[in-house]
Amino acid sequence: MSYFDAASSAPLHPVARQALQASLDEGWADPARLYREGRRARMLLDAAREAAAEAVGCRTDELVFTSSGTKAVHSGIAGVLAGRRRIGRHLIVSAVEHSSVLHAADAHEADGGSVTQVAVDRGGAVAVGAYADALRPDTALACLQSANHEVGTEQPVGEVAAVCRAAGVPLLVDAAQSLGWGRVEGDWSVLTGSAHKWGGPSGVGLLVVRKGVRFAAQGPADERESGRAAGFENIPAIVAAAASLRAVRAEAAQEAVRLRELTERIRARVPRLVADVEVVGDPVRRLPGIVTFSCLYVDGETLLHELDRAGFSVSSGSSCTSSTLTPSHVLKAMGVLSEGNVRVSLPLGTAAEDVERFLEVLPGAVAGVREKLGAPMPEKVVQDEDVLVVDSLGKRCPIPVIELAKVIGDVPVGGLVRVLSDDEAARLDIPAWCEMRGQEYVGEETAENGTAYLVRRVS
């Protein structure tokens, strides 16, 4: 079985396993106590903090360990917003942040705060000027991930940090995906990370708050972790997290070159092996191990099951794999195709032979899914003057797009196809199909039982 979902959770690094097992015998006592066992536990905790701080590039008294990366994000955002409440209650986030950031933004807005969401380009990157334009006198905090978790696009953190610093606004960086590859450059103010993303154990997060940043920890007071993370520290897991971070950093430069070559192989060959595929994310400014693509006329969940049966564990941002039947907020913000979406994220040590086998299996898996769907003709196709109407109400992705593709040739050049759909994914996938196939997306209209999407045949 080839595990290609390291962006969700990386396999436990051998160094992490060794450190975890060793520290179970020494790090079980209360590090706040003065007796021998407590002192041993404190030494392990202090050593782990020093190692993590060195990897991040911060002071040891700026870094605390939390119970997860999500907890670090929530605590960091809440703490800075509370500490700068007198400045204002305006928060800035990008449209492609991790859900932990967006959920925190929703909670802030529900509590009476205001939120500005900065758009991204088709590659998934923000514009530095957009953050500058979003800054206001009442801005308390800005948030920007270092690299995207779904498509791998790296963000201009250094430039955005400089803009925010000039305006006196702290920048919180979610570095969960990138921290294993290297330090986050720039004059950021707050940083978060998650150990299971770099091969450490789950249940350990990092929260770094630079000296001088106004911060007020929320919730009941607790004496542990400088009052910023309540609860008894899981010292064995923390030791394993710090040890694995140091270990993956030692391998990062060499592995980055190797994994980048493998993902570039996938980016280049998938469109040649499979028809009607869109590779998404910035082709240059991206993490070494992540590559994402979307396949037209494919049910994402079925494709993932087919790849799983073939021995490959991958993930997807397709609405077809979601219980909510809405596409990934990242793909939606980018304006790219969501149906048949596949994210391949390679863990350290991935063999080139496994990638080659994936490229051999993929075309047959996609073809099999498309054959199962049958690309059926629409049940109701009526000619209304110069407009061909396709009734796809009650059908889910990718059927509306399949039916559009089947009939576009039935209208003359310049003619319109009106696709009726009540599937939220169609709002993203039909314009994306037009972009890929060289047709004109005219827009959408409210229909009686859903939405009408208008497409003009150009060629």
The 3-state secondary structure of 350-388, one letter per residue: CCHHHHHHHHHHHHHHHHHHHHHHCCCCCCCEEEECCEE
CA 30, CA 106: separation in Å to the nearest integer?
37
Kindly list the distances between the CA atom of residue 49 and the CA atoms of 40, 66, 74, 138, in Å, as whole numbers in the listed order.
Answer: 14, 12, 21, 34
**Structural element, H or E, at residue 209:** strand 205-209
For residues 401 and 297, the answer to whether their CB atoms sit within 8 Å is yes
In sequence order, which residues have a C-beta less than 8 Å from that of residue 444 and are 6 or more positions away?
427, 451, 452, 453, 454
* Two structure tokens written together for 184: 């986050």
Angle between helices 99-110 and 69-83 (to 10 degrees): 40
Question: Residue 5: phi, psi to the nearest 5?
Answer: -135, 45
- Greatest alpha-carbon pair distance for the chain in Å reads 88
Quick check: 211 and 201 in contact, CB under 8 A? no
Which residues carry out catalysis?
A: 320
Written as six digits, the tokens of 201 are 């154990």
CA angle 183, 101, 302 (to 5 degrees): 95
Per-residue HEC secondary structure of 37-60 comes to HHHHHHHHHHHHHHHHHHHHCCCH
Q: Residue 344, exposed/middle/buried by CB under 10 A (0-12, 13-18, 19+)? A: buried
Distant-in-sequence, close-in-space partners of 95: CB < 8 Å, separation ≥ 6: 117, 118, 119, 120, 329, 333
CB 149 within 8 A of CB 176: yes
Tell me the two tokens of residue 373. Answer: 């769907």
Burial readout 188-203 (b: 16 or more C-beta within 10 A, e: otherwise): bbbbbbbbbbbbbbbb
Q: What six digits make up the tokens of 456?
A: 């003009």
Phi, psi of 74 (to 5 degrees): -60, -45
**Strand intervals (E) in 299-340:** 312-313
B/e letters for 381-418, b = 16+ CB within 10 Å, e = fewer, are eeeeeeebbbbbbebbbbbbbbbbbbbbeebeeebbbb
